A and B are shown apart, each in its own frame.
Chain A
Amino acid sequence: MSATMTDGLSKGTTGPMTRDTTALAAPRRDFGWLAAPITGALGLAAFWLFPEDLGLMTRIAATALYVLSLDLVLGYCGIATLGHAAMFGTGAYAAGIAAVHLVNDPLVLLLIGGAAGGVMALVTGGLILHARGLTLLMLTIAVTQIVQEVANKARDWTGGSDGLSGVDPAPLLGLFRFDMFGRTSYLFAVAVLVVGMVAARRIVRSPFGLACRGVKEDPLRISALGGSPRAYLVTMYAVAGIFAGVAGALTAVSSGIVGLDSVSFSWSAEALVMLVLGGTGRLYGAVIGTVAFMTVHHILAATDPFHWMLFIGLFLMGIVLFLPGGIASGGERLRALLARKGEGDQA
Chain B
Amino acid sequence: MTTTLRKALLGAVFAASLGVGAADAATIKVGVIAPFSGPFAMFGQTFKEGIAIYQAEHGKTVGGDTVEFVFRDLDQANPAQSKALAQELIVKERVSFLAGFTFTPDAMAVAPLIDEANIPAVIFNAATSAITEKSPRYVRTSFTLWQNTVPLANHIAKLGVKKAITAVSDYGPGIDGETAFKATFEKAGGAVVDTIRMPLKSNDFAPFMQRIKDSGAEAVYAFLPAGPTTLAFAKAFTDNGLKEKGIQFFGPGDITQEPDLPALGDAVLGMTTSFHYSQAHESAANKSFLAKYKELFGSSDNATFTSVGAYDGVHLIYTMIAKTGGKIDGLKAVEAVKGMSWESPRGPVTIDPDSRHIRQTVYLRTVERVNGKLQNTEKASFADQPDFGYKVGK
Contacts and interface: CB of A to CB of B under 8 A. Distances in A.
Interface of A: 52-56, 58-59, 152-153, 155-156, 159-163, 165, 168, 179-182, 251, 254-262, 266, 301-302, 305-309
26 contacts: A52-B91, A59-B81, A152-B170, A153-B170, A159-B105, A160-B171, A160-B175, A161-B171, A161-B172, A162-B105, A162-B172, A163-B77, A163-B104, A165-B108, A165-B111, A182-B91, A251-B80, A255-B80, A255-B84, A257-B83, A259-B79, A259-B109, A261-B78, A266-B76, A306-B37, A308-B37
A262 B111 CA distance: 19
A344 B41 CA distance: 56
B116 interface: yes
Contact of A306 (B73, B80, B86, B111): B73
Interface in B161-201: 170-172, 175
B90 interface: yes
Interface of B: 36-38, 41, 44, 71-73, 75-81, 83-88, 90-92, 103-105, 108-109, 111-113, 116-117, 128, 130, 134, 170-172, 175, 394
Contacts of A56: 84, 87-88
B77 A161 contact: yes
A155 B72 contact: no
Given A52-B91, A55-B87, A163 B117 contact: no
B84 A58 contact: yes
Of A56, A162, A258, A306, most B-chain CB atoms within 10 Å? A162
B71 A305 contact: yes
Contacts, number: 122
Contact of B79 (A180, A258, A266): A258
B100 to A, nearest CB: 11
A155 B104 CA distance: 14
B251 to A, nearest CB: 19
Contact of B109 (A53, A156, A160, A165): A165
B36 A163 contact: no
Contact of A262 (B80, B88, B103, B109): B80
Contact of A52 (B72, B92, B134): B92
Contacts of A55: 83-88, 91
A316 B349 CA distance: 48
Contact of A259 (B37, B78, B111, B113): B78
Contacts of A153: 170
Contacts of B175: 155, 160
A182 B108 CA distance: 18
Contact of A261 (B77, B104, B113, B172): B77
Given A155-B175, A160-B172, A180-B113, A255 B92 contact: no
B90 A180 contact: yes
Given A152-B171, A257-B79, A180 B84 contact: no
Q: Which one of B77, B84, B130, B394 has the highest number of Cβ atoms from chain A below 10 Å of its Cβ? A: B84
Contacts of B88: 52-53, 55-56
Contact of A54 (B87, B104, B111): B87
B145 to A, nearest CB: 12
Contacts of B71: 305
B56 to A, nearest CB: 19
A220 to B, nearest CB: 41
A17 to B, nearest CB: 25
A150 to B, nearest CB: 12
Contacts of B84: 55-56, 58-59, 255
Nearest to B113: A180
A299 to B, nearest CB: 12
Nearest to A165: B108
Nearest to B112: A256
Please give me the 5 A-B residue pairs with the lowest Cβ-Cβ distance, nearest first. Answer: A163-B105, A55-B87, A305-B73, A52-B92, A255-B80
Contacts of A308: 37, 73
Given A52-B91, A162-B128, A259 B170 contact: no
B73 A259 contact: no
Contacts of A168: 112
Nearest to A254: B80
Contacts of A251: 80
A260 B76 CA distance: 11
A302 B108 CA distance: 22
Given A259-B79, A262-B80, A305-B73, 10 more contacts: A52-B92, A55-B88, A59-B81, A159-B105, A163-B79, A165-B105, A182-B87, A182-B91, A255-B80, A309-B37
A260 B112 CA distance: 20
A163 B86 CA distance: 17
Contacts of B172: 160-162
A273 to B, nearest CB: 15
Contacts of A257: 79-80, 83, 105, 108-109
A152 B91 CA distance: 33
B38 to A, nearest CB: 7
Nearest to A58: B84
Contacts of A181: 87, 91
A248 B112 CA distance: 20
A160 B170 CA distance: 9
A180 B87 contact: yes
Interface centre among A55, A181, A302, A306 (most CB of B within 10 A): A55
B32 to A, nearest CB: 9
Contacts of B171: 152, 160-161
Q: Give the interface centre of A152, A251, A256 by most chain B CB atoms within 10 Å.
A: A256
Nearest to A52: B92
Contact of A305 (B36, B108, B170): B36
B184 to A, nearest CB: 21
Contacts of A180: 87, 90-91, 112-113, 116-117
A118 to B, nearest CB: 22
Nearest to A264: B76
A156 B175 CA distance: 12
A309 B39 CA distance: 12
